[in-house]
Amino acid sequence: MAVDPRQMVAGFLTLSMFVMLGNMIKHDHFSSGTELGLEATGVEFNAVTVADNAEMTDANSVGVEHLMEADEELKPCWAKPSPKVQPSNGFVTFSLTMGPEYHISQITDAVVIARHLGAALVLPEIRGNELGNKRKFQDMYDVNKFMSSLDGVVEVIHELPDEVRAKKPAVIRVPNRVTEGFIMETIQPIFQTNNYLRLAIVFSSISLKPKETDNKDLDSTACLAMFRGLELNPEYSEVAKRMLDRLKELSKKSGGTVLAIDVQTNLLGKKSCITNGGARRKGCYNPDEVLGFLQNVGFSANTTIYLTETWWYKGLNALKEAFPNTYTKDDIMPAENKGEFLKSGNADLARALDLEICSQSDVFVPAIAGLFYGHVTGKRIASGRTRILVPALGSSSSAQTSDFISTYISKKSHLAYSCYC
């Protein structure tokens, strides 16, 4: 009896898939990776665990997305804090600084403090990195959404009363992710003598891991502020949507996967990526290292890639040659918006678009450690988009994709898992 060659090929491919799955289980595919501590940021990245005898897979036929854990749908597991019954007895002011990934943390801390003190929270101004670069909260964020999300939880006002504005506030340096103990021991005594505070939220270390606490009211307040309070205003949100829609349209022509990569070459030589001894920190990768990682884990050359770089430069050419469908903001942003978003003084606006796109892409790859990675991960967990891969230097071509899944996801070590269950 003659053997159909097509049956032989199908049988071989089926056998190959079983061998691949066997190796994944044998080499602990579903175990979490090893954490690497980052001195400057405290944000976790993965160490690569390479399976000794892992089978090579044909990425173009299997597709790396099939080797990744499926997205996980979660729902909020916090109750909205109980409504305030007492009128506000003072005022809390602060500014948003350093970019949208910091704004999320600053808003959360300020809301938690105002809730605990029973104070009114004044809408913050936004300060850019350049001296004198200021804008109103509503110029960047959806003020109606912010105020309605906190309705009954914290009183939010647009401006200080005239009689209060004439006074001098008590300025307090507040560590990011402020604790109830710090509020009670440091902030509250000052508030009792001067009910007009200005917060200066500092980031001496950064961690988005859950913290043990017995105060469910403040925990719920933090979840609400971090995941429901801060959204771009409708005009800017529409720009991000149009850019993402363009990426999805391009990806349909080449396989349907949109991969967003946070690459910031300008940070590779700065303190956040360089140790005191001059060595590059783990968690900071240049475009060529990212290219090697993408090829080793098996992304198809047809993958549509969004880079958080604003402009194209020659250091990205090798990545473009290997993955022709690679784009920067300048490549896909609507022409009528470039004048506003791409000028140097509006870097925080451009970064806000990056945060939105990286939070909603099919896959996210953080090539730079920091709060951006942490908050994108939080937004992705909240929306069920848990496909996040972290690069590693010297990764072998025999490595499994699961070796690079963010430990925020594989170990559920992100605080979002205390808000979404």
Which residues does residue 213 pair with via DSSP β-bridges, in sequence order?
none
User: Which pairing describes strands 34-36 and 45-47: parallel, antiparallel, or unpaired?
Assistant: antiparallel
Task: Pick left, alpha or beta for residue 394 (phi over 0 → left; psi -120 to 50 → alpha; otherwise beta).
Answer: left
Which pair of structure tokens corresponds to residue 64? 């790396």
pLDDT, one tens digit per residue, over 53-102 is 223 233 333 456 554 556 677 899 988 899 987 889 999 999 999 999 99
Confidence grade of residue 318 (pLDDT, cut at 50, 70, 90): very high
pLDDT in tens, 115-151: 999 999 999 999 977 666 889 999 999 999 999 999 9
Task: State the pTM of this model.
Answer: 0.83
Q: What is the mean pLDDT of the chain?
A: 83
Report pLDDT digits (tens) over 4-51: 544 444 454 444 444 444 444 333 332 333 333 333 333 444 433 222
- The length of the chain in residues reads 421
Strands 156-157 and 120-122: parallel
For 252, the enclosing helix (H) or strand (E) is: helix 234-252
347-362 burial, b at 16+ Cβ within 10 Å, e below that, comes to bbbbbbbbbbbbbbbb
- Confidence at residue 164, expressed as pLDDT on a 0 to 100 scale: 94
Q: DSSP string covering 364-396, please?
A: EEE-S-SHHHHHHHHHHHHHT---BB---TT--
User: Nearest 5°: phi and psi at 216?
Assistant: -65, -30
Q: What mean pLDDT comes out for the span 381-393?
A: 91
